[in-house]
Amino acid sequence: MPDAARPPRHVLILGGTTEARRLAAALAPEAAGAPEPAPAPECALRVTTSLAGRVAAPRLPAGEVRIGGFGGPEGLARWLREHAVDALIDATHPFADTISHNAALAAATAHVPLLAVRRPGWVPGPGDTWHQVTSLDEAAAALPALGARVFLTTGRMGLAHFAHLTELWFLVRSVDAPEPPHPPRMEVLLDRGPFTLEGERALLRAHRIDVLVTKDSGASATAAKLTAAREAGVPVVVVRRPPGPDGVPVVEEPEAAAEWLRGLFSAADSH
């Protein structure tokens, strides 16, 4: 049972992903209106999710929300101390590399336990034609040999890497409208996942796409495009993930993070 005398344990979730929203909902079930009993720790919790502020109208998680950068690892360490954070969960996107490294540094400085939630990456199956690269620049360099009509799903922030490809036509899908520099010949599709297989097939057909570019984001919400590409014989340029920071424990699912918190707080209670 929660100890009424103790202030709630404060969990900071670095968010901007489905996993972060699922974890916040599991930890703050009243706020999410969750019908199922959540696998949350038994002690009273205060849950804050931090968003970078990149998306104009983000999907908001349950619990408290703060928006905007912290000011590097030092700023994050200060925030952890000033807000008496008991545990830090890095549930950011696998390509949000800077904040993940900042989290590792800040957690070590402020002596706050840190766990990362990292969804598994995608793996090619029979029939896939994948070209794996390590950066958007490498993806851009690979494109002219692969096709002329590109479906670009790497987000609006990296469009500058493709801006010099004046001979190619791009279908760019992003949540908010991109700003220049971007490829001169492009159509923008403002949308956010999850996407259906039917929908992705129709997009490839309607725009006569002959090559797809994606980050290895993992997760099912945006995986249908890979199946649609395989079916249509469309090659896929897959940008590999950056390595996460060393020494940070990682789980794949929000439920495992809730379990980790339960273990952390019950171990602390027994001391």
How far is 172 from 156, CA to CA, in rounded Å?
8
Decide whether 17 or 168 has the Cβ nearer to ligand NAP.
17
Is there binding between residue 2 and ligand NAP (CB under 6 A)?
A: no
Q: Give me the least distance between CB of 217 and ligand NAP, in Å please.
A: 7
DSSP line for the chain: ---TTSPPEEEEEE-SSHHHHHHHHHHSHHHHT-SSPP---SS-EEEEEEE-S-SSSPPPPSSEEEES--SHHHHHHHHHHHTT-SEEEE---TT-HHHHHHHHHHHHHHT--EEEE-PPPP---TT--EEEESSHHHHHHHGGGT-SEEEE-S-GGGGGGGTT-TTSEEEEEESS---SS--SSEEEEE--S---HHHHHHHHHHTT--EEEEE---SSTTTHHHHHHHHHT--EEEEPPPP--TT--EESSHHHHHHHHHHHHHHHHT-
User: Which of 28, 47, 96, 186 is the binder for ligand NAP (CB under 6 A)?
Assistant: 96
From candidates 26, 99, 110, 146, binder to ligand NAP by CB under 6 A? 99
Contacting residue, 27, 51, 62, 85, with ligand NAP by CB under 6 A: 51
Residue 240 near ligand NAP by CB under 6 A:
no
Q: What CA–CA distance (Å, rounded) separates 248 from 105?
A: 10
Q: What are phi and psi of 106, to 5 degrees?
A: -65, -40
Closest approach, Cβ 72 to ligand NAP, in A, equals 5
Please identify, using beta-carbon distances, which residue of 39 and 193 lies nearer to ligand NAP.
193
61 makes contact with ligand NAP (CB under 6 A)? no
Using CB under 6 A, pick the residue from 41, 147, 155, 235 that binds ligand NAP: 155
Q: Interface with ligand NAP by CB under 6 A: which range of 71-79, 127-135, 159-167, 201-209?
A: 71-79
92 belongs to the binding site for ligand NAP (CB under 6 A): yes
Q: Give the interface segment with ligand NAP, choosing from 88-96, 129-137, 199-207, 232-240 (CB under 6 A).
A: 88-96
Spatial distance between the Cα atoms of 221 and 227, rounded to a whole number of angstroms: 12
Using the contact rule CB under 6 A, the part of the chain among 8-16, 108-116, 144-152, 236-244 near ligand NAP is 8-16
Q: Which amino acid is at 166?
A: T
According to the binding rule CB under 6 A, does residue 257 interact with ligand NAP?
A: no
- Does the protein bind ligand NAP through residue 71 (CB under 6 A)? yes
Q: Which stretch binds ligand NAP (CB under 6 A): 94-102, 165-173, 248-256, 259-267?
A: 94-102
* Minimal distance, residue 263 CB to ligand NAP, in Å: 24
What residue ranges bind ligand NAP (CB under 6 A)?
Answer: 14-17, 50-52, 54, 69-72, 75-76, 92-93, 95-99, 102, 155, 215
